[in-house]
Amino acid sequence: MVWSNLIKKGLSLRLLQPAVKRNFWSFPGKATFSSLASDVTLDRVDLRSAPLTTLSEDEEMMRDTVAKFAAEQILPLVSEMDRKGEMDKDLIQAMFDQGLMGVEIEAEYGGTNSTFFSSILVIEELAKVDPSIAVPCDIQNTLNNRLIRQHGTEEQKNLYLPMLATSTLSSFCLSEPEAGSDAFAMKTVAEQKGDYFLINGSKCWISNSAEAGLFLLFANASPEKGYRGISCFVVPRDTEGFDIGPKEDKLGIRASSTCTLNFDNVKIPAKNLLGELGQGYKYSIEVLNEGRIGIGAQVLYILNKFYSLALPSFSYQHDLTSFF
Ligand SMILES: Cc1cc2nc3c(=O)[nH]c(=O)nc-3n(C[C@H](O)[C@H](O)[C@H](O)COP(=O)(O)OP(=O)(O)OC[C@H]3O[C@@H](n4cnc5c(N)ncnc54)[C@H](O)[C@@H]3O)c2cc1C
C-alpha cells in the first residue's frame, strides 16, 4: 500500500493531509454534535459505519507514522527529560515539523488540515511513549488552536494560527489559587481603558508556560457581572508586567512545565480580545469538553501500561494462592 511505503520513508504527518474525514455518529440527515464543537456539522452518516475502535486505512497510517516518530525521536529522550524536569527544545520543534501541533488547523494557515479524531490519535500515540510530551500536543490542538479557529477574527487567525501550527507553543490560562474546580470564581481582572485592557492577578498550574510564546488568558472584564464578565485574551510572552514563575517540581509528567503566572498592570491592546467580551466562560466550557477527551487519551495509555506491567505479578500471586 502506498501510504505504508511513505511511512517507511519517514514522511511526516504534514504530508498526509488528505487525511481522514471520519463520520463520528450515525444519524439520518444532518446532525450537530455540540459536545465536539459548535461549528461541526456532520454529514449524513450511516448507523452501520465502523465503530470508533476500527480505524480507517488513513487513520492507521497516521497512527503508525506518529508511533514511528515517537519510538525514534521521543523514546531516547524520555528518561533524561523526566530526570531534568525539562522538555527538549529540538523535540518540540520536531513535533511542529511533523505537523503534530496544528492537526486541525487549515492548510491555508500552515496546519495539517485534519480532524479532531486525528488529534486524539496523535495524542494517544505520543502518550504511549511519554505522557509529558502529549501535554503540549493536547493543549495546543484541543484547546488553544480551537479557540483561535472558532473565535478569532481573520486578522487574529492570520497572525496566530501559522505560529501555532509551525513554531509557537501556547498555554491555556484559567486556574487560579482559589479558582480550580470552581474556575469562574477567578480574581484576575481585565479593566478596559479605551483601546487597551489592564490585567492584574495571577494564574497557577499553567502547563507549557516555561516554553510557551502565546498565552490564552481568561480574566474578568466586568467583575460586577460575575462569570458573565469573563473574557479571553491573547497575551504574548514578552509583554511588560507579565512574569512567569519557576516550574513546579512535580511527581509525574515532570518534563511538562507547570508554572504560576503573575500579571502586574499588564497592558493588552483591545485587538487581543478573543471573541466577544463576557463570553470567555462559554468558550472555556466548550473547549474543555474537547480537552477532556485529549486528557482521556493520555490517561488511557498510562493505565494500559500500568496494567501490562502489573499483570505478571498478579498472576504470580494467584499461582501462589492456588499452590497453598
Ligand atoms: C499537572 C497539572 C497541569 C495543569 N495545567 C493547567 C493548565 O494548563 N491550565 C489551567 O488553567 N489549569 C491547569 N491545571 C489546574 C487544574 O485544572 C486544577 O488543578 C483543577 O481544575 C482542580 O482544581 P484544584 O487543584 O484547585 O482542586 P480543588 O478545586 O481544590 O478540588 C480539590 C478536590 O475537591 C473536589 N471538589 C471541588 N469542589 C467540590 C465541590 N463543590 N463538591 C465536592 N467536591 C469538590 C475536587 O473534585 C477535588 O477532588 C493543572 C493542574 C495540574 C495538576
DSSP string, 238-282: T-TTEEEEEEP--SSSTTS-EEEEEEEEEEEEGGGEESSTT-HHH
Ligand 1 mean position to 308 CA, how many Å?
Answer: 29
Name which residue sits closest to atom 23 of ligand 1, judged by CA: 180
- Of all protein residues, whose CA lies closest to atom 34 belonging to ligand 1? 181
Which ligand 1 atom is the nearest neighbour of the CA of 181? 29
| Distance between Cα 176 and ligand 1 center (Å) | 9
pLDDT, position 315:
62
Residue count of the chain: 324
The pLDDT tens digits for 216-225 are 999 999 999 9
pLDDT digits 0-9 by tens, 2-14: 333 444 444 455 5
Residues having CB within 6 Å of any atom of ligand 1: 171-175, 180-181, 205-207, 258
| Residue range 132-158: mean pLDDT, rounded | 97
Q: Give percent above pLDDT 90 in the chain.
A: 73
Residue for grid cell 463570553: 279
The predicted structure's pLDDT at residue 41: 37
As a whole-number percent, the residues of the chain with pLDDT over 70 amount to 81
Which of 205, 218, 247 gets mutated to test ligand 1 (max ligand atoms within 8 A of its CB)?
Answer: 205
Per-residue pLDDT for 284 more than 70? yes
Tell me the one-letter amino acid at 70.
Answer: A
In the predicted structure, residue 36 carries a pLDDT above the cut 50: no
Confidence tier at 301 by pLDDT (50, 70, 90): confident
Poorest-confidence range of 166-180, 189-203, 215-229, 294-308?
294-308
Average pLDDT over residues 156-179: 97
Q: What is the pTM of this model?
A: 0.85
In the chain, the domains with their CATH numbers are 56-168 (1.10.540.10), 171-275 (2.40.110.10)
Residue located nearest, by CA, to atom 43 of ligand 1: 181
pLDDT at residue number 51: 73
Q: What pLDDT is recorded for position 307?
A: 82
CB atoms within 10 A of CB 304: 13
Residue 43 has pLDDT above 60, yes or no: no
Who wins on pLDDT, 236 or 323? 236
CA dihedral for 35, 169, 301, 63, sign (positive or negative)? positive
From the CA of 178, give the closest atom in ligand 1. Answer: 26
Which residue's CA lies nearest to atom 9 of ligand 1? 206
Structure confidence at residue 285 as a pLDDT band (50, 70, 90): very high
pLDDT of residue 319: 56
Predicted pLDDT of residue 286: 95
Distance (Å) of CA 318 to CA 125, 304, 310: 32, 21, 13
Residues 298-321 have a mean pLDDT of 72
Residue whose Cα lies nearest atom 35 of ligand 1: it is: 181
Instruction: Answer yes or no: is pLDDT of 37 > 90.
Output: no
Q: What is the mean pLDDT of residues 232-238?
A: 98
Average pLDDT, stretch 288-297? Answer: 93
Q: How far apart are CA 299 and CA 313, in angstroms?
A: 22
Atom of ligand 1 nearest to the CA of 179: 26
Looking at the CA of residue 248, tell me the nearest atom of ligand 1. Answer: 1
| Mean per-residue pLDDT, 267-292 | 96
Give the residue, out of 140, 147, 175, with the most ligand 1 atoms within 8 A of its beta carbon, to mutate for a pocket test: 175
Q: Which residue has the higher pLDDT, 317 or 44?
A: 317
pLDDT averaged over the chain? 85
Tens-digit pLDDT profile for residues 68-118 = 999 999 999 999 999 999 999 999 999 999 999 999 999 999 999 999 999
